[in-house]
Chains A and B, each alone.
Chain A
Amino acid sequence: MKSKLKVLTLGWEFPPLLTGGLGIACYGLAKALSKKVDLTVLVPQSYTGLPTENFQLIGLNHIPFTHKETIKERNLEEIQYRLEDFATVEKIDIELNPYPVYSPFTKTKISAEKNNVLLMEPVMELKASEAFALFQDKDIYGPNIMRKVAAYTEVVCRLAENIEFDIIHCHDWITFAAGIKLKEASGKPLVVHIHSLESDRVHPDARNDVYYLEQQGMQMADRVLPVSDFTRQNIIQYYGIPGDKITTVHNGIEPVEKFKNKKDKPGEKWVVFLGRVTRQKGPYMIFETALKLIKRMPEVKFYVAGLGDQLGHLKYLVEQNNIQDYFVFTGFISKAEVGELLSRADVYFMPSISEPFGLSALEAAQFDVPCVISKQSGVSELMPNALKADFWDTNKFSDLLYAVMNFEGIKETLVGLTRKDLEKINWEIAATTIFEKVYKDFF
């Protein structure tokens, strides 16, 4: 009997902590893939309550360290990767997280990596307990992130010595240094999964640490798996990676219990936005669209559910233009609260400037909420029955929102057909694509 392929998955956020689609996608994919391969997933934190049917989940905060050993630097001579300037990074006030956003008011040092090669250089001796203490931190995405990445990389490589694997599968830039290192040490093929890119988060022309890490990862990888054709194009265009090793794997969704609720004020119409309020998500488009729509629909309310570095600016614009009566800023909301919001929404609005996927639109669709979304999003490839416009076209967005909320027939047709489209979106398809078209290629 042929033994199953063994895949080592390097994830970061796990289980889903609602900071973005990354954790949700990793989890959904792992579940489906574990039916086809033997899966080991390494993550910084894990909650013991999470169902992990088929795969071995090693949360780095749970690893018992019986002896206090220091994690010495590895022998650097043969190593071909370097992650630049970790110590310096610590001194600089950069807000770094898996979705790093460079706010205009933060001092940023862009240390451009000129060489083609990144070297791994852990710059300090970390006591084992210290290293793991970093992972106990509730806030995975806090200011220590680059340091955590270095520690993560080191720990992962150590752990991997005792793990058998045939393939390394990495999710997003944070794990790439580790993935590259593992590939070099083991000679096993490396697959990098792209859920987000610096070119989306910051700007297509951004060339900074994270960008070069992403590029390195994709260059060193044997296969690159973006979550949409949109992202695939961006990779080719902005990172110069050849198309023949890039295979799109659309995300899936988990089934949910949908329900509908009545609003407290039945005359109101709710336009809902869920997500980080950051440049990438197009908060300014929300504002501009609202300005136009409000003139025709005094009963409309824009629900903005999320936090982010642009939230303050959005609130400022809303207040300056005296339209605060039409906005509700809920702040960060839990999964249960998301359901409550979607159950009352009349339309879901996602005007993203550059969205590799856009899972939130599918979540709204699962609640039978019609969607108005940006054409510059990956999820639009899977939603022929969502209404779409270019992200800058707030005229069209306001037209589409108006139509959905005023013409029942249009809304019903969109919802009815989208229900059928959703049936074709699941993790099994993603897992099959990966197994048949990517993993199998290596053997």
Chain B
Amino acid sequence: MTSVCFYFQVHQPFRIKPYSFEEIGHNHFYEYDEQNRNIMDKVSDKCYLRTNALMLELIKKHEGKFRISYSISGVCLEQFEMYKPEVIQSFKDLVATGCVEILSETYYHSLSFFYSKKEFERQVQKHADKVFSLFGVKPTVFRNTELMFSNEVASYISNMGYIGIICEGVDRLLQGRTPNFVYQTPNHEPIGLLLKNYSLSDDMAFRFSNRDWKDFPLTAPKFARWVHETAGNAETINLFMDYETFGEHQWPETGIFDFLEYLPSEILRHPDFDFKTPSEVIRAYPKREVYDVPYPTSWADSERDLSAWLENRMQQQALHSVYSLEEAVLKTGNEALLHTWGKLQTSDHFYYMSTKFWSDGDVHKYFSPFDSPYDAAIFYMNVLSDFKFTLGA
């Protein structure tokens, strides 16, 4: 038996606004309110609501055979509540089917694991509380921000009691092996590792509408055939992607929704193939080999490491600065300040400061609410300066 395991990331940060140094000391509201709301509106209509409706339809049509999972960040859940409560309801409807698993992550979609274990645990707990209060479920599988992973992460999460963890299947660490099995840590801890099959995942999420791709156009039968071809040498096909694939990254005109609509039935044509959620995969299949990840990996860029968030000096200074405030924030005992501090840890802030793809000619590649990584860094550091000021005051 081989299982197709879908995991969709659902996340929106609280973007900060263009914040001038002149506001430091008297403007304590940092959020790009209007933008955040507009983006939430737009993406909800183009993606979340439309895709959720389709998923619900497919789940009902296949009577439990079509099973999927999501990880929704805490800051995203909050924005749904603020701006688009109907999205929360649609996720509730999905969870209620019993065919949809919710995963655990840090509430603020942060890099806290690498800076403060204490803060990391606080955020994981906060997320778990939120998930339970909204959906009534207790996740058993974890996924760290943007699939940031290492032996240390796996070990830690295992000790926290999770049965499984999602990560990227990195070629240089797989060393010729397939991601299509459940792996284990070098220390043989109880936790099971689910490795993204990036080839098949990215076919759907990135190459789908690329006319220069040799396999364009991608149809459901074609994709199902590729999946079926793994028979005999795969137990789990881990298709991990951003949920915005459906309607945002891939526009409806590309046919992505039609593809999705027919995919489950095409996959299920083969009697040895089914759908399982991450925890079901962990429970169904044994851990095979060891997947050794001594240095952190992620699902970002070609390097699949953490460089997208901390490669340059301004990112490093920003991260260091925000985490250096932990003690002062906790001392205030003020929930609002703690929450503001948490929101300033969201990985996107640092992602926007990346200079990896930055040169004036490549603006189109650059994906950020700001005109340049420098603007992103300047506004962030100004905000942090004001935040520091409020802590002192």
Contact = CB atoms under 8 A, between A and B. Distances in A.
Contacts of A414: 374
A410 interface: yes
B355 to A, nearest CB: 6
A400 B372 CA distance: 12
A292 B22 contact: yes
Contacts of A292: 22
B381 A403 contact: yes
B374 A409 contact: no
Contact of A416 (B313, B318, B374, B378): B313
B317 interface: yes
B334 interface: no
B20 interface: yes
Given A292-B22, A417-B355, A409 B316 contact: yes
Nearest to A292: B22
A407 B22 CA distance: 15
B308 to A, nearest CB: 15
A86 interface: no
Contacts of B377: 403, 407, 409-410, 413
Interface in A393-419: 395, 398-400, 402-403, 406-410, 412-414, 416-417
A335 interface: no
B9 interface: no
Given A384-B358, A384-B359, A413 B313 contact: yes
A387 interface: yes
Contacts of B382: 399, 403
Interface in B298-348: 312-318
Interface string B348-377: 000000010011100000000000001001
Interface residues of B, number: 20
A360 to B, nearest CB: 20
Contact of B378 (A381, A395, A400): A400
Interface in A43-96: none
A200 B106 CA distance: 55
Contacts of A416: 312-313
A296 interface: yes
A413 B312 contact: yes
Nearest to A382: B360
Interface string A316-338: 00000000000000000000000
Contacts of A400: 378
Nearest to A297: B21
A49 to B, nearest CB: 40
A407 B314 contact: yes
A399 B374 contact: no
A400 B24 CA distance: 14
B101 to A, nearest CB: 40
Nearest to A415: B313
Contact of B20 (A295, A399, A413): A399
Nearest to B19: A399
Contact of B21 (A384, A387, A402, A409): A402
Contacts of B378: 399-400, 403, 407, 410
15 contacts: A296-B21, A384-B359, A384-B360, A387-B374, A395-B20, A395-B22, A399-B378, A403-B378, A403-B382, A407-B314, A407-B378, A409-B314, A409-B318, A413-B377, A417-B358
Interface of B: 20-22, 24, 312-318, 355, 358-360, 374, 377-378, 381-382
Given A385-B358, A399-B21, 4 more contacts: A403-B21, A409-B315, A409-B317, A413-B313
Closest 3 CB pairs of A and B: A409-B317, A409-B314, A412-B313
